[in-house]
Structure 1
């Protein structure tokens, strides 16, 4: 009973201190893909399999039907959005017979249907596309002849997107409609014909710097840590 009282007192003091510090701080998060992390990532889609093995996150297209475009996401959920002022870095990333990279999305209200849609910027290792609610074109054309990269870096702040690949600047542009990002995800895209099991991708490390962390988030993390230490 005394242990519980001490923990509660510690949390009250901590929460008061965090409120006095300010509402939001920045955090750094990384994943070396050494084990499955169901609390950090969520697969969205039905046409691929995502696994963690040998220090890599691997994705393979396994489509349900022939002759169709595949648009699969592996969404970052360890920290909830919205996001702004962050940098994502991928190490040893690439794909074979598919397109792979990072999808940044924002929720928009469709004035005609009055439903919510997602607007995407898709940053692949060899291309960049804009997508509305998951529509993507997968053809033979590509901007860059780099299916694989040693490092891919993507920075976003206040509508400005900056993409670097292996130390070289590839894109630097603004979109005033994207004042923040609602979701961050890996994206796997491809077009399947008769062979529904074609296309694969891999990445060794994912890091994101500049995540906004509120006092509530800090308190939740600390509470979980304190509970684990209780006998």
Structure 2
């Protein structure tokens, strides 16, 4: 039997896309499914992460995400992020787990942010909570002063777990509860990112950090999004 022609394969692909489009409009918009997403950092994934900032480099090496401070200026505050973009926000009721995470001469962890808009002043800004391996800081539009001391003497952790739901933040480290608080202003989270922070003096290349695995459980993914992903994949495979 002769293999199907390119025209036949193209017609089949178009038919499948049409079915997907039709099925999409038949699905209730309210329905969503909580899914788990993880990254073992086996390879670079530009579609999943985006670097925000100019004072660091981020690489994937030997199964780890690694970052190093490369400050543009001496005597400056470092606040660089590696933002999760695989599934855009907003986010609620999720748990982030980091495996084998640590830093030397820097603060490293997870930044959760919400966008705020003042209708009177027309000012837009982001409020952050920064959960490091050894401390926690609030931040407004990335303004943060890293003090010499630290809340916990743990630059490295085997596991760091952060849960958020309806304004409640719960942080666990190596199986122990570290902090549990609620901020009613944070009814959801708009952005999730790794954060590298610190203060450099004359040496602009001081500070490194690493993490082995990132897992987020509880992502709300609608059936429409799943079908859209399938549709995009089919379009790319068309001859």
Same fold (TM over 0.5): yes
Separation in 1, partners of 2:79, 2:106:
10
Unaligned runs of 5+ in 2: 1-9
1:1-231 matches, cutoff 5 A: 1-12=10-21, 14-16=23-25, 19-20=27-28, 22-110=30-118, 113-231=121-239
Moved more, 179-188 or 208-217: 208-217
Q: Which protein is bigger by CA-based radius of gyration?
A: 2
Question: Aligned to 1:222, what secondary structure does the other structure show?
Answer: helix
Query: TM-score if structure 1 supplies the norm length?
Result: 0.94
RMSD over equivalenced CA pairs, Å: 1.7
Query: Which blocks of at least 5 consecutive residues in structure 1 are unaligned?
Result: none
8 A contact 2:104–2:207 mirrored in 1: yes
C-alpha deviation, 1:4, in angstroms = 2.9
Q: Distance in 2 between matches of 1:174 and 1:64?
A: 36
After superposition, what is the alpha-carbon deviation per residue over 1:178-227, rounded to whole angstroms, capped at 9, x for unaligned?
Answer: 00000000000010000000000000000101011123311221113333
Q: How many residues align?
A: 230
Give the SS at the match of 1:73.
strand
Aligned counterpart, 2:5: none
Cα drift, residue 113 of structure 1: 4.6
The 1:13/1:113 distance shift into structure 2, 3 A limit, reads closer
Residue 27 of structure 1 deviates from its aligned partner by 1.4
Is the contact made by 2:17 and 2:231 (CA closer than 8 Å) also made in structure 1?
Answer: no
SS in structure 1 at match of 2:171 = strand
Q: Which 4+ residue blocks in structure 1 deviate beyond 6 angstroms? A: none
Give the conservation status (yes or no) of the 8 Å contact 2:13–2:234.
no
- Which SS does the other structure have where 2:148 is aligned? coil
Question: How far apart are residue 230 of structure 1 and its match?
Answer: 4.3
CA drift at 1:110: 4.3
Which segment is superposed worse, 206-215 or 221-230?
A: 221-230
* SS at 2:46 equivalent: coil
Aligned partners of 1:75 and 1:24: how far apart in 2?
Answer: 23
